[in-house]
Amino acid sequence: MTVTDDFINALPKVELHVHLVGSASVPTVLELARRHTGHRVPTDEAALREFCEFRDFPHFAEVYFAVNGLVREPKDVATLVTGVARDLAAQNVRYVELTVTPFSHVSVGMTMPAVTEALDQAAREVADRIEVAYIFDIPGEFGDEAARATADHALNHPPEKLVGFGIGGIEQDRLGHEKAIRDAFRAAVAAGLHSVPHAGEMTGPETIWEAIRGLKAERIGHGISCLDDPELVAYLRETQLPLEICPTSNVCTKQVPDIAAHPLPRMLAEGLYVTLNSDDPPMFDTTLTNEYRVAARDLGLGRKDLANLARNGVRASFLPEDRKQAILTEIDAIEPT
- Of 15, 171, 201, 291, which is the active-site residue? 201
Residues 6+ apart with CB under 8 A from 278: 15, 17, 18, 246, 248, 249, 284, 286, 287, 288, 290, 291
201 is catalytic: yes
Coil, helix or strand at residue 49: helix
**Alpha-carbon span 136 to 166, nearest angstrom:** 6
The three-state DSSP-derived secondary structure of 263-317 is CHHHHHHCCCCEEECCECCHHHCCCHHHHHHHHHHCCCCCHHHHHHHHHHHHHHC
Give, in order, the Cα–Cα distances in Å from 268 to each of 8, 183, 227, 308: 19, 33, 11, 11
Give, in order, the Cα–Cα distances in Å from 7 to each of 76, 166, 204, 335: 35, 33, 36, 9
165 near 140, Cβ under 8 Å?
Answer: no
State the helix-helix crossing angle for 303-316 and 288-297, rounded to 10 degrees.
140
276 near 316, Cβ under 8 Å?
Answer: no
Helix, strand counts (H, E) of the chain: 16, 9
255 near 24, Cβ under 8 Å?
Answer: no
Strands 93-100 and 131-139, how do they pair?
parallel
**Alpha-carbon span 17 to 243, nearest angstrom:** 10
| Residue of 119, 111, 39, 32 whose CA lies nearest to 81 | 119
**Alpha-carbon span 168 to 154, nearest angstrom:** 16
Cβ atoms within 10 Å of 94's Cβ, excluding its own: 22
Catalytic residue numbers, as ranges: 201
